[in-house]
Structure 1
């Protein structure tokens, strides 16, 4: 039973077999708060963004996603024993981070860093009493990468941003450098040293934390779905402030259909990572792909909002490259996901490579065109995997049965 006076994050009725678990209302609430922060980040890419704006967006998005993933890991492993109060405190930390984004270059940046540090320490602390080692996603438990964030509290921009980047790079590096066996062995040695000194161990012998893969797939898919929903909301907001005419209508409908096409690749029969089947990759490899895909979706939302303001054309070069580049990154993750899911070399050459190359070619070759036309071409590119599977692959099968 949970020692949290406010009770566990889930009720006993929700404690079913691992394969039957679903995201709780509290987990959904947590996801919504995280996506609010991501929506704030999308505003960094409005008004003709430059490389600095894009770099800051990527940095802050990775910070939000990392904080979200730390608590998602905790909820996944702890299940009905997850403490409600702990998750609510993490939610409040993410809300502070979101509120700090608009004035991130000011002292609000220190508030952002402090909230991130506290969220990470809170997420790490829950594992001490559990006696488990998160071998599949060590970032949830290790806090070495938080040190540069602490130092940044006394730094000014742009040094502050470089320290944040260094901290996130340490987290990612440790995730891939430290193997499962090494993490578990080191934790066991520390426990044995404490036990050998005849001190009372602070916890039981450490064991590897076990992910519930189906629950994790659901959380990743729901997060992606919420990001797409927020992208639709941002696009609608931008369209509501523009002058309504035929070209805006063409662009608005095309933007909605484009987001639907990307939803179909990432959520339908997938775990939130485009074209990656369920349970194909271990978490430490699947999660970075999820981060890339959702980051690209949020950046696409910003570019679509900018396009609404330029519906009469031509689209500014930076907005055009942001739009096409976001789609290219998302579909590049899909290329990798499809290849790892066993679709074969023929699919990679006929589908994967073209859908990644096409947006880049469009960005370079469509200067001076109308945004609506560009968006509809991107719709065709995003639907090519579906068309290939339905018309090219299945057509010979149908012919053999006639």
Structure 2
């Protein structure tokens, strides 16, 4: 199979989701309770799933043509409407959010259903669920009175819609096994979405500081947060990205790797980075202030979630644990309650230190394994 490359239309489509991720992270600024976290997750699922649906259909079809480009851009418009609705998603804009998602899913269903051969039958699977079940449920939730049950009625309906979307690849796994996938394209696409989330961490670092006094403490805080962002990038792109591509290329069941590692695993990875980005936004501009539990939980909890997600993906790919990342996640969680009374800069330095040690340990472990392999071949 000829290697499939990401098209310019897909990259342009991603720009919509740069804005969408910013809007979703905005839901957590200044509101850090468990209820707000749950609502942000429920809102993020359809945003993410809209992107996943477009990415998969671009993988199994040739989309570098005017018809499919227009289809991708139309889905992008739906994503833009969803992003615009996010700040008021608990109120009147809930209708716009649900209608935009349903419209995007109908477009994706049309693109898939008009395909050729086995691809055409995929519409009975998750694309049909999105267009015929979760999309209408999101619109129905948006039409509910925003004050009904304190707003939880809408969240409950949207949670059911999210579960329908997330469970569809499992329910239709046999059907999806009949589809041929391009193994080089999907790792690149999901890596690009993770870059979008990491870009949000840069916004979280810079935006709050840009309009404030820039003293030495603030500059050190910015530099430390940027180091953390770089360390998160290194953990994925220096080792994990190649392993994920290798797993997809060599797997007996590509369908299972796509579902477990990419669709589900990357949802957790990206959610962790978004939480860290929000934590930066609440931390960097006030390096001398002690952190409240909410921002500290987002910063450290998001980092721990990111590290734990790697252990999940490694087990799903190779049935192997990732001891270094499990230990680092445990260290982050142990440090979390100890950081409550420290200045924000101290919390940033401690987190950067844990991630720095983890990267150094993994660098030496990989280097030693490579030397042993070379010696065995020689």
Alignment TM class, shorter chain as reference: 0.7 to 0.9
Identify the residue that residue 129 of structure 2 maps to in structure 1: 142
Identify the residue that residue 160 of structure 2 maps to in structure 1: 166
Change (3 A) 1:367 1:234: closer
Question: Of 77, 80, 85, which aligns to 2:70?
Answer: 85
SS in 2 for 1:30: helix
Question: Of 378, 384, 399, which aligns to 2:351?
Answer: 378
Written as runs of structure 1 = structure 2, the 5 A alignment for 1:1-400 is: 18-19=2-3, 21-79=4-62, 80=64, 83-131=68-116, 132=119, 138-143=125-130, 144-157=133-146, 158=151, 159-181=153-175, 208-271=178-241, 276=244, 278-280=246-248, 282-286=257-261, 287-342=263-318, 344=320, 348-349=322-323, 351-391=324-364, 394=367
Change (3 A) 1:136 1:209: farther
Give 1:179 shift.
2.9
Whole-Å Cα distance in 2 between the matches of residues 333 and 247 of structure 1? 33
Structure 1 segments unaligned to the other structure (5+ residues)? 1-16, 185-207
Give 1:140 shift.
3.5
Whole-Å Cα distance in 1 between the matches of residues 16 and 293 of structure 2? 33
Change (3 A) 1:393 1:260: closer
Whole-Å Cα distance in 2 between the matches of residues 344 and 173 of structure 1? 25
Change (3 A) 1:137 1:326: farther
User: Deviation digits for residues 100-156 of structure 1, max 9, x if unmatched?
Assistant: 111222211111111011111111122222152676994344333223223224312
Whole-Å Cα distance in 2 between the matches of residues 137 and 73 of structure 1? 15
Conserved 8 A contact 1:277-1:341: no
Mean CA deviation greater in 384-393 or 38-47: 384-393
**C-alpha RMSD of the superposition:** 2.7
Greater share of residues in helix: 2
Whole-Å Cα distance in 2 between the matches of residues 303 and 290 of structure 1? 20
Structure 2 segments unaligned to the other structure (5+ residues)? 249-255
SS in 2 for 1:314: coil
Larger Rg: 1
Conserved 8 A contact 1:227-1:294: yes
Provide the aligned length of Structure 1 versus Structure 2: 355
Whole-Å Cα distance in 1 between the matches of residues 317 and 162 of structure 2? 28
TM-score normalised according to structure 2 size: 0.85
TM-score normalised according to structure 1 size: 0.80
